Structure 1
Amino acid sequence: MSLRSLLTYAHDDGAVTALSEAAHAAPQRAFVSGSLRPYLLAALVDLDPRRPALVVAGDDRAARDLAADLRTFLRPRPVRLYPARGVRYESHLVPPPHLVGLRIAALDALLDGGAVGPADEGEPVVVASVAALAEKVPDPELRPHGFALEHGELLDLDETVARLVACGYERVEQVEDRGQFALRGDILDVYPATEERAVRCELFDVEIERLTFFSTFTQRSLEEAEQVEIAPAAELAPEHRELAEIAAVEEGDTRPDIAEILPVERFRDLLSLLPADALVAVSAEEEIAPALADTWEDVTTSFHDADAHHLYVGPDDLTAALDARAALRLSSISGDQPHAFRAQAADSAARSLREAEPELEKLVRSGYRTVVAWSRRGEAERAAYNLARVQAPFLDGKRAPQQPGVVFAAASLREGFLAPGLKLAVLPEHRLLRRRRSPEGPGGPRA
């Protein structure tokens, strides 16, 4: 479930709107407590949902975690992760299909804008690591483009197989991993590059009669689907991909230079491809320079041919590009920033619901609108039933409450926060309840 309705607290806050208005006129820097960062970023980009946004994080892990939290706060607005390739261009190794799929899906979302989804969802938000921004990407004409399978649509199997091959999918007898597909009569199995499960497409004549996710281990159906995105599993079109695959098996001096197998002059940096109206925000300003230095050190020590420099953006050039495009720069290190947003981490010493209930009551007495996010609705319902004094209705997409109180929501969050300025407390269940770990054996954990 989405926590988007909670963003209204920030939208009604004068300090948040002042930062947003100032950022329209000139780049702005702000101090933001680390626990509050995902919420504040979500609120800022949601002030103008028809404007695409690029959020820059220090590394892939930070980008992944931030994208997950932004997705919870912004759903159904699309939030995409744009990670680094995972391998250097000069190694001639093929990146893992799931990384390729995530990258191309994010690129297509930014370049195509609202064309990738319903207009009422808003323009896409892409979260990228600075290492990913340092890697240039091929022109759209050089790479394959994904497509979607939709329940009830007409499907030409031969054409779809050709599109899968062009997207870098491997035909196998039985799918086991991402980037594979299998065809048996009128049944097409595909393991999309960006999905956690494989999908089975069953046809009635030329119509998709059934679309289901299934387990690759048991082959049992898990869940019906209305639409499944098939993101590319390769970053280059077939003709360029074949040359790279040949080069990958060469050794030593016989391996060709990158410029001999790739049209390096047609690779561009991501920032130059952004729409002119895109909002660019740096989520942790203090992490950018060290991450760029580490990335460039790896690049300059791992290849010997000068042409490989055409495939990466140097630290100075990328810093200058970010300076020119970034409207917002956030930092968790307090300094001379003209804007500041402070919050405490959401932590509790409670080990049971009985111990947690007084903590919730204390927050309500202090005037906080308190939201507890539960990853499983069933656990939330049991907790609400077992509370002795606190009434905790479910948010369920309704308007955010204006009065102090406790509400439950079925949503996944890594961290929560207590924001005194907003009188808002958001606590993930694992921050509210510090559950005891079960011993590792009959004698407990061993030293």
Structure 2
Amino acid sequence: MGVFSLKKYNVFAGVLGDIKLARFPVSISGCQDSENAHVMSELVSESGARASLVIAADEVHAKKLYEDYRLFDRNVYFYPARDMIFYSADVHGKAIMNERLTALRNLVSKKQVTIITTFGACMDRLIPLNMIQEKVINIYSDTLIEDTAELSARLVAVGYVRVTGVTGPGEFAIRGDIIDIFPVSEKVPVRIELFGDEIDSMRRFDAATQRSIENISEISIYPAAEIILDEARRIDGEEKIRADLKKLNEALRKNMKTQEAFRLKSAVEQFLNDVEYLGALASIESYITYFYDNTVSLIDYFDEESLIFMEEPERTVGAGKAVYTEFADSQSRRLEGGYVLPGQLNAVYPAEEIAERLANKRLVLISNLPQKLKITEKKSVKVKENYGMSARLMGGYTKNFLQLVSDIKSWKKKNYRIVIVSVSTARAERLRDDLDYNGITATIRDASLAAKPKEVVLVIGALSRGFEYPDAGLVVVSESDIFGTVRRKKSEYSAFSEFKGTSIGSFEDLKVGDYVVHENHGMGIYKGIEKIESGGALKDYIKIEYAGASNLYIP
């Protein structure tokens, strides 16, 4: 039980009890931003879930959640969505794929892991996880490598590219008795030196300097592609593609769209040649339904021992529907223009289907206000229980350190556990000395060690914003709460300077109908103050209206 523990908090204990009794879906309200990351990490830890998936509305929220989550649990990975409309095999596309594969590799191999992603990423069609596991190449110090050509073929089959010298993930090189492989899930490549067909040495090395880093006795090489093709599957998929190509090509020519027909045939033939003769799997994701009948979603990679969290479910499912609508509209136009085949329109799952699947999972909804899982306009999944947490985000102390000192003394009188998060040991030591100068004793220690009531603890890490749980007797202060966040200096001249907004000191400065900009959700219209019941009590919330009649409530 570490410094961030909520184990003795009654509401948290209730949620944990429902999880252990498999009463899903369960809902938690009253939390937002960094509080969400904290509550989810504590539930994962206390429930003993082997794996967990966290779903956010979009990449901005997912990345912010990922950065906060890392303070509480380092076994967390970000899984970005593919851009199926503009996807290409450029540097950015490869970086996205490597990040996705790293997350999947850790899902397969680690005892406990959390993956944070977006609803859009859950809509991607994937091959079953067991097919990825079957293609892992394990090499041990006593492995015999009788034929380097055979090893080369195996590596190419799982997406690796042969080069003269490895420089990045997904590459390998064979020069005589030296084999260099840069696994997609590793930060550095591995060099295997042979003596005949036996392995003489195996070590990690720096690709830039060629210097050895450490000797190893084994290495697991995970696929460098999300879609893996053996010869039989490739031939079968090619036949389906050619059948669709012939049918669509004839239809386009019949309608006098010869340019579109030529464009389509050229693009598809180039793709098939690259796959057959070069083993190139770039852009194959959009053709997945031609090669695999039994595709799955990322959520299907999480079994009955896993937990799935969804942040702000109404907004998140709505974002998924918007992504699918954009994809479907774009692909329909591209189909008419001779850019894609009919099967490529099914490269992602509809948002409603993913929401339906989530309803049957071990699902925990977490949001500021109580919400249901809304699948369609007429169909919602009712939660088994909603738990209201008493939580609030920390206010800032910029240029007012004495106010922090005063608040700490007040929290100590209330028997709070007080945790301050600092980005480095040196800064934590300076902060400890400043607190000591003001009559407050603080200790620097590992976050895994429990804190006692009235104790002030400094831990090393990063957190976007602190928070307080009055009923749990816990307060967490981030360094950005104390010193503020560092922002880039803006240019003195801007083309939009005449439209620059005005900062407000209080919501009382606002009038109903004013346009406001939320730092995470963007521009909306201020609609006043509403009283809403949350956590068993009426609270005041600022109401902001967005396009599509969606509303944001801010405590």
Normalising by the smaller structure, the TM-score range is: 0.7 to 0.9
Aligned residue pairs, count? 420
Which of 237, 262, 271 is 2:228 aligned to? 237
- Residues 422 and 228 of structure 1: is their aligned pair in 2 closer, same or farther, counting only changes over 3 Å? farther
- Give 2:528's aligned residue: none
**Matched position secondary structure for 2:443:** coil
Deviations 1:355-391 (A, max 9, x none): 7545544443443312122222232234334541322
Q: Which residue number corresponds to residue 394 of structure 2?
A: 346
Query: TM-score scaled by structure 2?
Result: 0.63
Question: How do residues 384-395 of structure 1 correspond to structure 2 at under 5 angstroms?
Answer: 384-387=432-435, 388=437, 389-395=439-445
Give, in angstroms, the shift of residue 31 of structure 1: 0.8
Q: Distance in 1 between matches of 2:229 and 2:473?
A: 55
Q: Deviations over 1:300-354 (max 9, x none)?
A: 1232344234432212222211222253111123569831113222342234867
Match of 1:63 in 2: 62
- Is this contact kept in 2: 1:193–1:231, CA < 8 A? yes
Query: In structure 2, what is the Cα distance between the partners aligned to 1:131 and 1:297?
Result: 11
Partner of 2:29: 31
Superposition pairs of residues 425-436 of structure 1, within 5 angstroms: 425-434=475-484
Amino acid across the alignment from 1:198: V
Counterparts of residues 79-98 of structure 1 (less than 5 Å) = 79-88=76-85, 96-98=93-95
Q: TM-score, normalised by structure 1?
A: 0.77
Shifted more, 136-145 versus 298-307: the winner is: 136-145
Answer whether contact 2:87 2:93 (CA < 8 A) is retained: no
Gaps of 5+ in 1: none
Secondary structure of the 2:354 match is: helix
Deviation by residue 1:93-141 (Cα, 9 ceiling, x = unmatched): 588333323434444555x4xxx13xxxx43323231111111102347
Q: Is the 8 A contact 1:374 1:428 kept in 2?
A: yes
**Does the CA-based 8 Å contact 1:154-1:208 persist in structure 2?**
no
Task: Decide whether the 8 Å contact of 2:102 with 2:184 is kept in 1.
Answer: no
Give the match for residue 113 of structure 2.
124
User: Does the aligned pair in 2 maintain the 1:286–1:333 contact within 8 Å?
Assistant: no
CA-CA distance at 1:192 after TM superposition: 4.5
- Sort the Cα spacing of 1:346 and 1:222 in 2 relative to 1 into closer, same or farther, 3 A: farther
- 2:421 equivalent among 346, 354, 373: 373
Correspondence for 1:262 among 283, 287, 290: 290
Judged with a 3 Å threshold, the aligned counterparts in structure 2 of structure 1 residues 22 and 141 are, in CA distance, closer, same or farther, namely closer
Q: 1:47 to 1:141 in 2, by over 3 A?
A: closer
Deviation at 1:225, TM superposition (A): 9.0
1:281 matched to 2:309? The reply is yes
Q: Give the Å deviation of 1:41.
A: 0.8
3-state SS of 1:46 partner: helix
Q: Is contact 2:417–2:455 with CA below 8 Å preserved after alignment?
A: yes
Distance 1:437 1:275 in 2: 42
Instruction: Determine if the alignment matches structure 1 residue 12 to structure 2 residue 8.
Output: yes
Query: What is the distance in 2 between the residues matched to 1:137 and 1:435?
Result: 39
Q: Aligned partner of 2:427: which letter?
A: E
> How far 1:272 sits from its partner (Å)?
3.8
- Aligned equivalents of 1:80, 1:434: Cα separation in 2: 27
Q: What is the deviation of 1:184?
A: 6.3
Equivalent residue letter for 1:60:
E
The whole-number CA distance in structure 2 between the counterparts of 1:190 and 1:434 is 44
1:103-118 equivalent positions in 2, closer than 5 A: 103-107=100-104, 109-110=106-107, 112=108, 116-117=109-110
Q: 1:83–1:433: structure 2 CA closer, same or farther, 3 Å change rule?
A: same
State whether residues 188 and 202 of structure 1, in contact with CA within 8 Å, keep that contact through their aligned partners in structure 2: yes
Corresponding position of 2:503 = none
Do the aligned partners of 2:119 and 2:317 also contact (CA within 8 Å) in 1? no
Identity within the alignment, %: 20
Q: Secondary structure at the match of 2:3?
A: helix
Distance 1:229 1:427 in 2: 41
Letter in 1 for 2:482: L
Partner residue, 1:290? 318
Given the alignment of the two structures, is residue 180 of structure 1 paired with residue 171 of structure 2, yes or no? yes
Q: Which runs of 5+ in 2 are unaligned?
A: 243-260, 270-285, 336-340, 373-384, 494-555
1:11 CA drift (Å): 1.6
Contact 2:307 2:363 in 1 (8 A): yes
Name the residue aligned to 1:408.
Answer: 458
Q: CA deviation at 1:18?
A: 0.9
**In the TM superposition, what are the counterparts of 1:42-61 in structure 2 within 5 Å?**
42-61=41-60
RMSD between aligned alpha carbons?
A: 4.1
The alpha-carbon distance between structure 1 residues 398 and 87, as it changes in their structure 2 partners (threshold 3 A), is: closer
Q: Which has the larger radius of gyration?
A: 2
Judging changes above 3 Å, is the alpha-carbon distance between structure 1 residues 58 and 222 closer, same or farther for their aligned structure 2 residues? farther
Q: Quick one: distance in 1 between partners of 2:4 and 2:409?
A: 23
Q: Please tell me whether the aligned partners of residues 369 and 424 of structure 1 are also in contact (alpha carbons under 8 angstroms).
A: yes
**1:252 corresponds to:** 263
Instruction: Check 1:335–1:260 CA distance in 2 against 1; reply closer, same or farther (3 A cut).
Output: closer
Structure 2 distance, partners of 1:392, 1:138, is 51
Distance 1:199 1:409 in 2: 34
Partner of 1:446: 492
Whether contact under 8 Å (2:52, 2:114) holds in the other structure is: yes
Cα shift readout 1:140-198 (whole Å, capped 9, x = no counterpart):
47657456789xx5576747655543432333344444433456677766554355x43
- How far does the alpha carbon of each residue in 1:253-307 deviate from its partner, in whole angstroms, 9 at most, with x for none? 2134966983241322333443233322212213222212211112212323442
Per the alignment, in what secondary structure is the counterpart of residue 396 of structure 2?
coil
Counterpart-to-counterpart distance in 1, 2:425 and 2:194: 36
Deviations 1:33-91 (A, max 9, x none): 2131111111112222144322222123323332343343134xx33333212334x96
Checking the alignment, whether the CA contact within 8 Å between 1:352 and 1:434 is kept in structure 2 is no
Structure 1 residues 25 and 264, CA, compared in 2 at 3 Å: closer, same or farther?
same
Counterpart Cα distance in 1 of 2:322 and 2:9: 38
Partners of 2:422 and 2:46 in 1: how far apart? 26
Deviates more, 1:274-283 or 1:163-172: 163-172
Counterpart code for 1:331: S
- Residue 39 of structure 2 is matched in structure 1 by 40
CA distance in 1, matches of 2:367, 2:456: 30
Distance 2:175 2:39 in 1: 49
Q: What is the letter of the counterpart of residue 71 of structure 2?
A: T
Tell me: CA distance 1:156–1:235, structure 2 relative to 1, closer, same or farther (3 Å).
farther
Q: Assess, with a 3 A threshold, how the Cα gap between structure 1 residues 350 and 274 changes in structure 2: closer, same or farther.
A: closer
SS in 2 for 1:137: coil
Q: Helix, strand or coil: the match of 1:342?
A: coil
Contact 2:78 2:115 in 1 (8 A): yes
In the alignment, which of 162, 167, 174 is matched to residue 171 of structure 1?
Answer: 162
Structure-2 separation of matches of 1:384 and 1:207: 52
CA distance in 1 between counterparts of 2:449 and 2:115 reads 26
